[in-house]
């Protein structure tokens, strides 16, 4: 038995079984008399909202710089500016000093949160870390397991 599909726009019946594939459906879609460009969703409208928020953009950019350990001057790289200029010529990237100020402000707020959290802990808290250097002279900071860190 040959499987068939029905076009939702014009009602045409098309073969779509594994022997014939879905090529006939694609060809029909491209030439369907009732299909129009207005029925197609553009990729941009499906990806993000229509309202661009510059503050949210800067926040995401700064989080990416922190997460990937990029230098503050990342926003001043010519290639990065070209990429963002291509996406939106009106978009202005913050300068490295602005990024630095935002990172320091974020650090201070996270530090206060951590201090508040640690001050609410009842009893003693043991933190143990180990510093070491690899043969390639890369520095590492590791934490020890809680069972080992509170033996004293």
Q: What is the structure's pLDDT at 101?
A: 94
Q: Residue 149 above 50 pLDDT?
A: no
Residue 28 sits in the same domain as residue 75:
no
Distances (CA, A) of 34 to 13, 29, 60: 15, 9, 41
Q: Does the model's pTM come out above 0.85? A: no
Q: What is the structure's pLDDT at 88?
A: 86
State the Rg of the chain over Cα: 28
For residue 5, what are the domain limits? 1-34
Residue 56 sits in the same domain as residue 101:
yes
- Domain total for the chain? 2
Strand, coil or helix: 143: strand
Burial of 69 from C-beta contacts in 10 A (0-12 / 13-18 / 19+): exposed
Burial of 99 from C-beta contacts in 10 A (0-12 / 13-18 / 19+): buried
pLDDT in tens, 48-98: 556 778 888 999 999 999 999 999 999 999 999 999 999 888 888 999 999
Write down the residue that tokens 């990065």 correspond to: 80
144 against 92, higher pLDDT = 92
């Amino acid at each position: 038995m040959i499987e068939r599909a029905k076009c939702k726009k014009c009602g045409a019946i098309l073969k779509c079984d594994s022997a014939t594939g879905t090529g006939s459906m694609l060809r029909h879609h491209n030439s369907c008399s009732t299909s129009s460009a207005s029925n197609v969703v553009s990729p941009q409208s499906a990806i993000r909202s229509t309202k661009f928020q510059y503050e949210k953009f800067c926040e995401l950019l700064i989080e990416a710089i922190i997460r990937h350990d990029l230098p503050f001057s990342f926003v001043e790289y010519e290639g990065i500016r070209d990429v963002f200029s291509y996406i939106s010529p009106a978009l202005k990237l913050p300068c490295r000093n602005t990024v630095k100020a935002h990172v320091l402000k974020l650090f201070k707020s996270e530090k206060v949160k951590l201090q508040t959290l640690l001050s609410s802990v009842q009893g003693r808290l043991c933190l143990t870390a180990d510093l070491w250097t690899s043969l390639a002279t890369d520095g590492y900071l590791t934490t020890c397991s809680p069972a080992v860190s509170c033996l004293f």
